[in-house]
Amino acid sequence: MDSDNLSFYKDRRVLITGGLGFIGSNLAVRLVALGADVLLVDSLAPDYGGNLFNIDAVQTDVRVNISDVRDASSMQYLVKDREVIFNLAGQVSHIDSMRDPYTDLEINCRSQLSILEACRQHNPAVKVVFAGTRQIYGKPDYLPVTEEHLVRPVDVNGINKAAGEYYHLVYNNVFGIRSCSLRLTNVYGPRRLIKHSWQGFIGWFIRLAVEDQEIQIYGDGSQLRDLVFVDDVVEAFLCAGASDACNGEVFNVGGNGPISLSDLVELLVEVAGTGRVRHVEWPVDRKSIDLGGFYADSTKFMRAVGWTGRVDLRDGLTRTVAFYRQHLDRYVDTPLDTAPGAS
């Protein structure tokens, strides 16, 4: 961020929904360093990633409200005096969305409407930055994927996240609630949930490597992904929150280039010095919603706010492995004795 954006957050009243989760807590730590007045809202629902240890370094410098974004009355109170809202609360598991579509609908769709309605009624001057996802594109027609690609989700999570994003755009365009959406690719780094594989492959792979377990890759591992380190994603949110050039727009926020899953796991095992790899057949429930190769073009966002990813993959993985080696007991209940399949 440039100096203007850095100074923008000094004493700024900020709300982070999903603030005890992976991206939200990293964002909170950064905002505290910038001198912001930070309020975190999180339901601490089991298996969703919220973890009080995530804010251990700043626990005396933030306020925490344990509340569910589905509770409209709570949100009406919580949004009142905030100047910027980073709206990160969500259900991110594609598998869970297919098993329990109604919960996904409530969290990723209906609650987003409640948050925006609370802003419209009680704080119409607020700026809202929504955490979108690459999943809304579905299987790509071309690579890298730009924002002009068709929105064509392949699972319930993608449908509801797309709806949540469009609510933000409508409230920007019709009601003047300044909003934008960052469509994130595969975000990795410290403070991510690693207890299970339901919320994406990268956290699970990192856990398996740290615990010297077998990492299972579905198929031949040739599918491409772009990964973006959480510190770079935090900077993206900060840039979007400080810039009205983003209002009413959607932006891809991805990594600096694609890598195959096979090459990624090779690098992870090399960095960790532990772990091993085995290729296995695709489970039916995973194959049916897999997007194949995917990587995003983030040029539009770079041009809008000057953002660029700065942390290369090797450095990011090194930092992430070191974090979990130091704090593994805070993120897993018991060490793995065997290595279940990963996505």
pLDDT at site 114: 92
pLDDT at site 226: 95
Q: Which two tokens stand for residue 163?
A: 């709806």
- Residue 3: pLDDT over 80: no
- Residue 48: pLDDT over 90: no
pLDDT at site 342: 37
pLDDT at site 264: 97
- Tell me the pLDDT tens digit for each residue of 55-100: 999 999 999 999 988 888 999 999 999 999 999 998 877 778 888 8
Is residue 251 a contact partner of residue 301, using CB atoms and an 8 Å limit?
yes
User: What is the mean pLDDT of the segment spanning 32-37?
Assistant: 98
Q: Which band of pLDDT confidence, cut at 50, 70 and 90, is reported for residue 340?
A: very low
Q: Percentage of the chain with pLDDT > 70?
A: 94
- Residue 190: pLDDT over 80: yes
| Mean pLDDT value across the chain | 92
- Tell me the pLDDT tens digit for each residue of 226-260: 999 999 999 999 999 999 999 999 999 999 899 99
- Residue 4: pLDDT over 70: no
pLDDT at site 107: 87
pLDDT at site 263: 97
pLDDT at site 341: 40
Q: Which band of pLDDT confidence, cut at 50, 70 and 90, is reported for residue 288?
A: low
Q: Percentage of the chain with pLDDT > 90?
A: 78
pLDDT at site 338: 46
- Tell me the pLDDT tens digit for each residue of 107-161: 899 999 999 999 999 999 999 999 999 999 999 999 999 999 999 999 999 999 9
pLDDT at site 339: 42
pLDDT at site 197: 82
Nearest residue to 66 (alpha-carbon basis) of 102, 107, 20: 20
Query: Which residue ranges form the domains of the chain, and what is each CATH number?
Result: 3-185+229-253 (3.40.50.720), 192-225+259-292+312-343 (3.90.25.10)
pTM of the full predicted structure? 0.94
Q: Which band of pLDDT confidence, cut at 50, 70 and 90, is reported for residue 289?
A: low
